[in-house]
Amino acid sequence: MTLADLQNQLIPEIEMGLRNFVKSHEFGRSAELQAMITYHMGWADDEDTEASRGKRIRPLLVLLSAGACDGTIQNAMPAALAIELLHNFTLIHDDIEDRSPLRHGRPTLWQRWGIAQAVNAGDALFSIAQLAMLVLSDTCSPEIAAQAARHLNQICLQLTRGQFLDIAFEDDNEIEIETYLDMIRGKTAALIAFSAAVGGIVSGQHQETVNRLSIYGESLGLAFQIQDDYLGIWGDPQVTGKSAASDLMARKKTLPILFGLEKCADFKTLWSQTELKTGDIDQMSELLAACGAQEYVREQAATFTQQAFTSLEMLFPNPNEYARALQELSQKLLHRDN
Amino acid sequence: MTLADLQNQLIPEIEMGLRNFVKSHEFGRSAELQAMITYHMGWADDEDTEASRGKRIRPLLVLLSAGACDGTIQNAMPAALAIELLHNFTLIHDDIEDRSPLRHGRPTLWQRWGIAQAVNAGDALFSIAQLAMLVLSDTCSPEIAAQAARHLNQICLQLTRGQFLDIAFEDDNEIEIETYLDMIRGKTAALIAFSAAVGGIVSGQHQETVNRLSIYGESLGLAFQIQDDYLGIWGDPQVTGKSAASDLMARKKTLPILFGLEKCADFKTLWSQTELKTGDIDQMSELLAACGAQEYVREQAATFTQQAFTSLEMLFPNPNEYARALQELSQKLLHRDN
């Protein structure tokens, strides 16, 4: 089966599994709390479309990784669901922390229910994610469940470290590139690394293989985020669906911008203006390209991309259909233009 | 050993265990995130006094429960630490949700670091609590660790259900007493119930004993909270350290107040005023006593107290020193006047 075949088969199973697991918990008089989670997950009855949901990339990665390790897909399902639920918990809290009013084109939880109820709903979803992971006790073994749950929570701690830096960056105008990479390593790459690693854990692989899966996932996650940073400035608006140089407009401190702040005084001067004039965005984008930021970011993305593919080849020298789908998925994620 | 002897021995061990466990995690560039947790736990170097910490009642309950079940105290320690860390995570988020500026006489995390960083620090502490529980893999077995972690997260879900109701109550003037009891069952009693139950889990007790420990803890927790509600109106200011009828002043919708709103029209009229005049508080407190709220709340507390003691007697017909200390602790918690 190709990646497309596997996606067509697995994504609906993941979606059904997520819905059933959230529904399986008793909320009694707090039914509205469950409705908040249902809304956030994109299952509100009146607007139940794929557009109001995430792409469910992480749980797909878990299942492909388990399959690539010759594990049983159904036994790995609790881990796949747990990671998607956990990812969604982090989005609820991130939206509060970033004061984002919209997600997937709809009001965020805190916008609709207020900060207090949204913080609490995030906590509820965090607990549900933990419970999903511990279902591995039944599909695999208590040993594997405890190992996966420990790893999961170490990753959660990494996420909060990344998020701490990201929030701190808002008020910091002297961010070093190494610190930025540390931030995205925690905030984005850690959970993708874990998605790959847990496929090995549930398939009973040795620690060494689990570590190598984790390294593959981390490279994939870093390459993915840096590619995102690239597209945020030089992506084709026709393809990305965002305005040209959208990250410059939004004043997001991404990798090319940090490079520019460090290497190009003219860029720094323009960036530091409190009000932007017509043409400033175009000029900033050109200054970034001229000072080598575009080339630097491309190189960084290429380096991590190469690392991801090398890791995959070493992990699966004789790839089965899942390992081949994993290669295809990595290609798709890293050579995208939107 | 008496309760006092056991407390003198165990509380410092718990405190040391908590500190070492939080310290054992690597925070790298996010060291300040760890400092936030350290501050919240009451370990900031310049103000490291018992007054800036909680009483660590829940972990003590875990260890006494494990000892009463003839379990090994040291093997139960990870569960004790996990519950105290979890309790503290909930306090960080509760303070945000309730907009409380002070805890133990010091600024709350969100007051000092802002809402975004405080939400994130709570999430970090939640993960650390989960990791602490999973150390049971090493001290007991992966089976026990997975069982305890599952139970823990079911309790976390109950906490969020209770918290959902508590936040919703702020804007609700028609709260039924049954709904209120449901709220405190989730918000306060669930974690105390689990503290008792997990002592049985780590000692390898049968599910039936674990359930009975949980029922004991729930009765204890409900009695404790209702006693608190009683003292919030009729407690002696000299003993509680709060002003007379402090819950009336703070407009907290506690059990006696809900009873009064339901049974006494005059009380409801006074309570519904937007501005209180001198003497209103005294009059409300008298109206509550006159309509039977004081007696009702005393009876409720007595009922749950009796249930707690009956459960303990049935659980431990031949109590060892830990079971006797558990009886003494329950007495102390339920017959307190502050």
How many residue pairs bridge chain A and chain B with CB atoms within 8 Å of each other?
171
Contacts with A161 from chain B: Cβ below 8 Å: 27-30, 33, 124
Contacts with A96 from chain B: Cβ below 8 Å: 115-116, 119
Contacts with A142 from chain B: Cβ below 8 Å: 141-143, 145-147
- As a whole number of Å, the CA-based R_g of chain A is 20
Contacts with A179 from chain B: Cβ below 8 Å: 29
Could you tell me which chain B residue has the CA closest to the CA of A146? B146
Contacts with A167 from chain B: Cβ below 8 Å: 116-117, 120
Q: How far is CA A265 from CA A261, A291, A297, B119, in A?
A: 7, 10, 19, 36
The C-alpha torsion from A86 through A218 and A98 to A232, rounded to 10°, is -130
Q: Which of A28, A32, A127 sits opposite B156 (nearest CB)?
A: A127
Minimal CA–CA distance to A177: which of B33, B32, B29, B120?
B29
Distance from CA of B82 to the nearest CA of A (A): 13
Could you tell me which chain B residue has the CA closest to the CA of A163? B120
Domains of chain A: 3-334 (1.10.600.10)
Q: What is the pLDDT of residue A338?
A: 65
Could you tell me which chain A residue has the CA closest to the CA of B153? A127
Could you tell me which chain A residue has the CA closest to the CA of B116? A97
Mutate to test the interface with A, among B22, B30, B95 (most CBs of A within 10 A): B30
Distance from CA of B16 to the nearest CA of A (A): 21
Which tens digits make up the pLDDT trace of B168-198?
A: 998 888 899 999 999 999 999 999 999 999 9
Which tens digits make up the pLDDT trace of A98-147?
A: 999 999 889 999 999 999 999 999 999 999 999 999 999 999 999 999 99
Give the separation between CA B295 and CA B288, rounded to whole angstroms.
Answer: 10
Distance from CA of B32 to the nearest CA of A (A): 9
Which tens digits make up the pLDDT trace of A157-204?
A: 999 999 999 999 988 888 999 999 999 999 999 999 999 999 999 999
Percent of chain B past pLDDT 90, that is, above it, reads: 83
Query: Residue A274: beta bridge partners?
Result: none
Overall average pLDDT of the B110-125 stretch: 98
Beta-carbon separation of B28 and A153 below 8 A: no
Beta-carbon separation of B179 and A29 below 8 A: yes
DSSP labels for A118-168? HHHHHHHHHHHHHHHHHTHHHHT-HHHHHHHHHHHHHHHHHHHHHHHHHHH
Beta-carbon separation of B157 and A32 below 8 A: no
Q: Which of B97, B142, B153 sits opposite A127 (nearest CB)?
A: B153
Q: What is the pLDDT of residue A290?
A: 95
Q: Which of A120, A127, A156 sits opposite B164 (nearest CB)?
A: A120
Distance from CA of A3 to the nearest CA of B (A): 34
Q: What is the pLDDT along chain A (338 residues), one digit of tens a residue?
A: 899 999 999 999 999 999 999 999 999 999 999 999 999 999 986 656 677 788 899 999 999 999 999 999 999 999 999 999 999 999 999 999 999 999 988 999 999 999 999 999 999 999 999 999 999 999 999 999 999 999 999 999 999 999 999 999 988 888 999 999 999 999 999 999 999 999 999 999 999 999 999 999 999 999 999 999 999 999 888 877 777 788 888 889 999 999 999 999 999 999 988 887 878 899 999 999 999 999 999 999 999 999 999 999 999 999 999 999 999 998 887 777 76
Length of chain B: 338
Number of Cβ atoms within 10 Å of the Cβ of A262: 15
Q: H helices within chain B, ranges in order?
A: 3-23, 31-41, 57-68, 73-97, 109-113, 115-134, 136-139, 142-169, 177-184, 190-202, 207-234, 237-240, 246-249, 255-263, 265-272, 280-290, 293-315, 321-334
Q: Which residues contact A178 (CB under 8 A, 6 or more apart)?
A: none
pTM for this structure?
A: 0.95
Instruction: Of A245-259, B127-141, B240-254, B289-303, give the lowest mean pLDDT range.
Output: B240-254
